[in-house]
Chains A and B, each alone.
Chain A
Amino acid sequence: MIISTFLPFLMKKIYSTLVITLFALAIATATQPRKVLVIGIDGARFDALQTAKTPNIDALLENAFYTFDSWHLDITVSGPSWSSIMTGVYHQKHGVTNNSYSGSNYFDYPYFPTRAKEYKPNLYCVQIAEWAPMSDDVYNDGWNLKLKVPDGQGGPTENAAVTQLANPNLDVLFVYFDAVDLAGHASGFNPSNPAYISAIEKTDGHLGGVLNALYSRPNYANEDWLILITTDHGGIGTGHGGNSNQERHIWWIASGNNISPRKLENRPDPGSYQISGVNQPLRRQSPVQADIAVTALHHLLYDLNFKPDTVKAWNLDGISWLDSIYATSPTRELSNSIGISSYPIPAHTGLVFDFNRSLEAVTHFELLDLSGRICRQEDLLSGSTRFEMSVANLEKGMYLARFNSEKGSAVLKVVVD
């Protein structure tokens, strides 16, 4: 089904060994234990997050695949939203429509740690949550430990996370902060509201403490941590739950030592199950809430060589972005000179390549099938921002799209269906 790998390349001459190299790198990183840290900040609007002074999140973004153009596809309320984030499915499946959690169906659609443990039962997974229902009303969630911390305080949450991160056996940690949402309800989800901005800034401080503890793990250099951060909804006035852009426009961050830095901008709104449905091709242009669980799951189960979103029994709504954001070589500088994404995934009739910045040199494009045969090639002019091609005549399957110029190179996996 999926997905594009953006793989900047050092040795641009060794075209024929490309595929082999990809697999070799995958094996190399597989020796590092893969771990996941999810940080949830309740009710943080995308624009307020950018307005506030958040040095810790900013530092993380230098190493992150992220967007301030993620869209909420469902009920913009905490209970349903965190359920989507942690299960990888929307309310039609997980059943939560309000904060009483009535109607929940976590037996059929559990939190992602439960799914991960179907394959790796020894994973050690911990949740630290300020909001009581996340501990008390959720079940079949796979946590070995659910820690409750005082609501809206941040400090104890940070301290609890620091303690947990000192445990070398920790595999999954979910840390949840509530202060921003409380401030929004009290006086407005609003970049001009000082109480709201302050709550974001203070939460950023605690987040910094959590990250420091992560980086201080004795074995950190030999671990492969995927850090996922998001919010459950925005807000308008002192509430949320509706479909306004202020409530639906959110943000999504994936960071880690092996993540290719990239910022997705101006992503279109794919719509919402709460309005007239979700446009699936558009929805794949930018990560959404349900993708947190699926990407995390993919990371945890990466060595098993399958993608969670392909498992029929799990029936997930989210997709994994791991392949397209995962870098295995230290050439991240290049990705700042050419950033390419492709859509739709999979491609049916046409394939679009978007360049984050216009090309700085004439760039040679080749599309190869997995046997290394060149199916299409073209020279792209300097200054191009976009390249479209038809896939009508191509066989279904996976291909590699290679871009090469004197400024750098890139390889993307594309799927034709």
Chain B
Amino acid sequence: MRILLLALILFCSFSHIKAQQGGVRGTVLNSLNEQLPGATLHFELLKMRTVTELDGRFLMTGLPSGPQKLVVRCLGFADLEQIVQVPAEGMLDLGMLVLQDNAATLGGVTVSGKLTTGSEFKANNLMKSSNSYLTVISAETMEKLPDRNIAEIVRRSAGVAMQRSYGEGSLINLRGTPVDWTSVTLNGDRLPVADENDPRRVFQFEVMPSDLLSYVTINRTITPDLEGDNIGGVVNFLNRSSVDRNTMKLSMGLGYSALAGKPIGSGSALLGFVNKSKTLSAVINGSYFGRNWAEHAYELEYESPFNHGISELKLKQYDGFRQTTGLNAALEFKPNNKLTLGAVFIMGLNVNDKYQYRTNYNWSEGSGSRVRLHNLHGKLRSRFLGANLNMNYRISDRLQTKFKLASYDNKFEYGNVPYSQNDPRNGYFSVVYISPLLQFYDRDFIDLYGNPAEADDPNAFLTKLIGKDNPYGRGDHYRNVQPRYGKFVDGSPLTPADFSFYQAISELNTTHEQDPIVVQNDWTYTLNSHLKLIGGLKYRYKIGGRELSVHKWQVDFQNFPTKPRLLTQSKTNYPDPDDNFLAELGTPYSGTFMPFLTHDQLNNFIQPLGDTLRNIPMNKLNQEYVLWAGSKYQYTEHATAAYAMTEAKLGKHVSLVGGVRFEHTRLYQTSDTLSPVAILDTASSTYFYPPLERTTDQAYLAILPSLNLTWSPRPFDNIRFAVSRTFHRPNFAETKPGFANISYEDLDFTFGNAQLRPTYSVNFDLAWEHFWGNKGMVSIGTYYKYVTDHIFLKTTEEYDPIQDIGFKRYVNAETSYVLGLEFTINRRFETLPGFLSGFGVNTNLALSLSRMQVPGRPSEQAMSGQTPLLYNLGIFYEKYGITTRVALNYTGPFLKELNLASIVPIGGTKPELVHKGTDFDLYQDQFYSLDLSVGYLFNAHFSLFVEVSNLLDAPSTEYVGVRERPHRTGYYRQRGQLVAKYAF
């Protein structure tokens, strides 16, 4: 704070000394009156230059008075040269400087072609003229891609890895770092997050439709004005805030999902209004994307943390309807050249209405070897709201201030299933049927660690073993795991009449995070054309919480002793009538399926049974509450930041941005622990551990200096060097007080740790960019991140007194590092003759190497979430009004979860890791997709696109240790859509 004030005082005193020189300002536009950001303005003789802002505006001061030659340069446009009379004092307004497309000089490029290529140049131009190393994706680029989902768009850039959920992009991480090291911001504000499954500070992209945005930037290097809570980088969204002419755009799409066999529909509309004096602009745009989707998946559960015996095979047939609705409304008022006032509202809603028919083969479980039929239905609702009021005021030609007040709210909840009204029991609902006992014929004897064992060996496991895990060489192939069984009583096969109702379960989840107040004030003082001083303050107030629970229903046998309720008493249908399940693997489970409840029957299952069902809530009186007490927490976080930086142009070729940012964090967290002494609730005759509230209060200050240096030896070459210190705030689940998150199956008792320090990284970047005028660009970059206090799960000396399972606590681990190489080439082959000149490539590649030390393991290993190889190979053709694009995207395998099962060995005194190697770790297998889009622009108003995604139908696979030991494998098949767009 004090530094900032000092800086401001400094700026003001400078302004008095230099007041004699004159300046110019104006706006750079293209022939369609669209603002051109990133255009450069050179007073070549003076060796002075500047770059236009996102709205095309520029301002230069400190120019010697008299006639000066100005060159305005922008990729894809002809240079504009002009002699300017710089006044001896004050500002000369140059008004609108309109650049002409130099497309005309290329010949054969249609008007509409120019429109689209121009937008890409705009993005390239922004990259070229930026002070830091970033990738810019413009709305026009997004419109050309088949994706509605921003993650799918962002992942096409170099060094971006994407994780999916339900076959669509959900999480992004930059440069092979853990997902929570990448920050996702909207207009510079890191967004609050609320997800069904993921408690980390990671933004789930599904909720934000791409149609609402005007730009996405991927910032690989950091400047002090950006929020410092990132190590991988920042993905920033800019929503549409204004239009410069009255606009109406419509787009409609109709499509088809091959696996769901059902339609897809989308639509978006943009209405923009601007008054004659261009002082008031309003824009409202909305989008809707509804898609039927389906997934076929098989999942193997491994029974013990000691060996690879299989306890369960789950055959999952999903179908669902996913709807993403977005709304953006913005108002901008520019009463004069000095003041801009804006208001923005943005909303995203993602509702996934999903059904699942799940057949569970249980080789071993508490209720014996059986088949269970799970009928599941849930409405997963994620809602994001954001609003801001902003003001941009040019106090003088040198001094400018920006003020922004914003508020965000993100929430996940389950919709109204199984009850139609709001009901606390609504959740991810399932009705479970169970078979009589079975005998499995496909099990083998192994010892605790998977070696062959005799049947009479007391330590033998009798278990299903596949592939190489079967020491007798008779394991099933991992893509064709077949349960072989008969009914226990007589060996006969199961029939639908054998299944009876077991229980109904509703998984409950309420997760919310709000940033009710985000307030920001930035100051820019332009000392002269070479030097800008910038400083600012930011404060963010965040509240959030997460509560997981479960509600069960069982038949109330005390009051309604009844015969088992058979599956055949309900309305059912067969789940795979077309014999299509896992057709990619040759339909290995053809003809094996039992009938499942019809959707209608499933939704009307609970109510008619009324009082014959017993409600079993999960509360402190529930005997299993010990498993849930730790999964509920609330938090309040105050983040206060101040920064000061300078933008300097050193001579003709070098520019520099450097400064320091301070981020102070104060965090209060509340969660329950359980009193060690159980007390009696006499009303329910229940002994329970009374929950005790635990609160923590933490504070820390991060000091984050950074420096970006750009050397442009030639007009179209940049060599960039950056060094910065950034940090990562621990996730709330990692610092929460209270009871452990318990998983007996994984030998896991995980406690939060309020003493956790944030992770810091010192980042080095070196990159070369070359821009081929309007033909594209190429870049090669390397980076190195030296990471301290990486957050890790560590086994402690304490353990569960019952089973000797080691307690785990998040701790700050030793140093780790990531070293990477990125390569990007975007190139149109316009020099090729005739027809061929429409071709181009859009390709990038990222290689990385990371090392971290897992406490308790003998050697270093790759960091989790980090893939060593990523690439996107895109070829496009744009000519004669045709826009065609084929892209292959590849993400290499990476470590997803470490198996840190730990236990006190027999005769030992403290817990040790069960596995020192990686054979029990969970990996995400490589993923690739081939997407195609073909568009035709009929005229300046109307275009049609055909988009087909996931042509290769590659599976999304998780495996344990090696690929031949799959955990979950899912297929989504191809999806296609025909989109019509109309712009008025």
Q: List A residues at the B interface (Cβ < 8 Å).
A: 45, 47, 75-79, 97-107, 130-132, 136-139, 145-157, 159-160, 163, 179, 181-183, 185-188, 190-199, 202, 236-246, 274
Contact B557 A104 (CB under 8 A): yes
B906 lies within 8 A of chain A by Cβ: yes
The CA-CA distance from A241 to B562 in the complex, in Å, is: 24
B434 lies within 8 A of chain A by Cβ: yes
Contact B803 A102 (CB under 8 A): no
Among candidates B437, B448, B687, B747, residue contacting A75 with C-beta atoms closer than 8 Å: B437
Among residues of A, the one whose C-beta sits closest to the C-beta of B439 is A242
CB-CB under 8 A for A148 and B685, given A182-B803, A236-B461, A237-B462 = yes
A181 surroundings in chain B (CB, below 8 A): 366
Contact A150 B368 (CB under 8 A): no
Contact B367 A241 (CB under 8 A): yes
Q: Mark each residue of chain B from 303 to 330: 1 if its CB lies under 8 Å from any CB of chain A, else 0.
A: 1111001010000000000000000000
The CA-CA distance from A144 to B365 in the complex, in Å, is: 33
The CA-CA distance from A150 to B623 in the complex, in Å, is: 4
Contact B439 A148 (CB under 8 A): no
A103 surroundings in chain B (CB, below 8 A): 500, 563-564
Among residues of A, the one whose C-beta sits closest to the C-beta of B302 is A238
Contact A97 B489 (CB under 8 A): no
Task: Give the Cβ gap from A228 to chain B, nearest Cβ, in Å.
Answer: 23
CB-CB under 8 A for A239 and B687, given A97-B436, A136-B614, A148-B623 = no
CB-CB under 8 A for A147 and B368, given A182-B744, A237-B309, A245-B456 = no
Contact B802 A274 (CB under 8 A): no
Contact B555 A102 (CB under 8 A): yes
Q: List B residues at the A interface (Cβ < 8 Å).
A: 303-306, 309, 311, 362-370, 434, 436-437, 439, 447-448, 455-456, 458-463, 488-489, 500-503, 554-555, 557-558, 561-565, 614, 616, 621-626, 678, 680, 684-689, 744-745, 747, 801-805, 903-906, 908
Contact A242 B802 (CB under 8 A): no
Among candidates A160, A179, A246, residue contacting B687 with C-beta atoms closer than 8 Å: A160
Q: List 11 A-B contacts (CB under 8 A).
A: A102-B502, A102-B562, A138-B557, A147-B687, A188-B306, A192-B447, A194-B804, A194-B904, A237-B462, A238-B309, A238-B311
Name the residue among B678, B687, B689 with the largest chain A CB count within 10 angstroms.
B687
A136 surroundings in chain B (CB, below 8 A): 554, 558, 614, 616
Among candidates A102, A131, A179, residue contacting B564 with C-beta atoms closer than 8 Å: A102
The CA-CA distance from A166 to B614 in the complex, in Å, is: 33
Contact B364 A239 (CB under 8 A): yes
Name the residue among A145, A147, A185, A239 with the largest chain B CB count within 10 angstroms.
A239
Among residues of B, the one whose C-beta sits closest to the C-beta of A42 is B366
CB-CB under 8 A for A99 and B367, given A132-B616, A145-B685 = yes
Among candidates A45, A137, A242, residue contacting B554 with C-beta atoms closer than 8 Å: A137
The CA-CA distance from A104 to B557 in the complex, in Å, is: 8
Task: Give the Cβ gap from A33 to chain B, nearest Cβ, in Å.
Answer: 25
A241 surroundings in chain B (CB, below 8 A): 364-365, 367-370, 437
A157 surroundings in chain B (CB, below 8 A): 687
Task: Give the Cβ gap from B254 to chain A, nearest Cβ, in Å.
Answer: 46
Contact A153 B802 (CB under 8 A): yes
Task: Give the Cβ gap from A352 to chain B, nearest Cβ, in Å.
Answer: 27
Task: Give the Cβ gap from B613 to chain A, nearest Cβ, in Å.
Answer: 12
B460 surroundings in chain A (CB, below 8 A): 236, 246
A237 surroundings in chain B (CB, below 8 A): 303-304, 309, 311, 363-364, 461-463
Contact A242 B369 (CB under 8 A): yes
The CA-CA distance from A205 to B564 in the complex, in Å, is: 39
The CA-CA distance from A75 to B368 in the complex, in Å, is: 9
A185 surroundings in chain B (CB, below 8 A): 365-366, 744-745
Among candidates B558, B625, B908, residue contacting A137 with C-beta atoms closer than 8 Å: B558
Contact A188 B803 (CB under 8 A): no
Task: Give the Cβ gap from B679 to chain A, nearest Cβ, in Å.
Answer: 9
A47 surroundings in chain B (CB, below 8 A): 458
Among residues of B, the one whose C-beta sits closest to the C-beta of A201 is B804
Among residues of A, the one whose C-beta sits closest to the C-beta of B443 is A237
Among residues of B, the one whose C-beta sits closest to the C-beta of A78 is B366
Contact A193 B306 (CB under 8 A): yes
The CA-CA distance from A199 to B801 in the complex, in Å, is: 8
Among residues of B, the one whose C-beta sits closest to the C-beta of A206 is B802
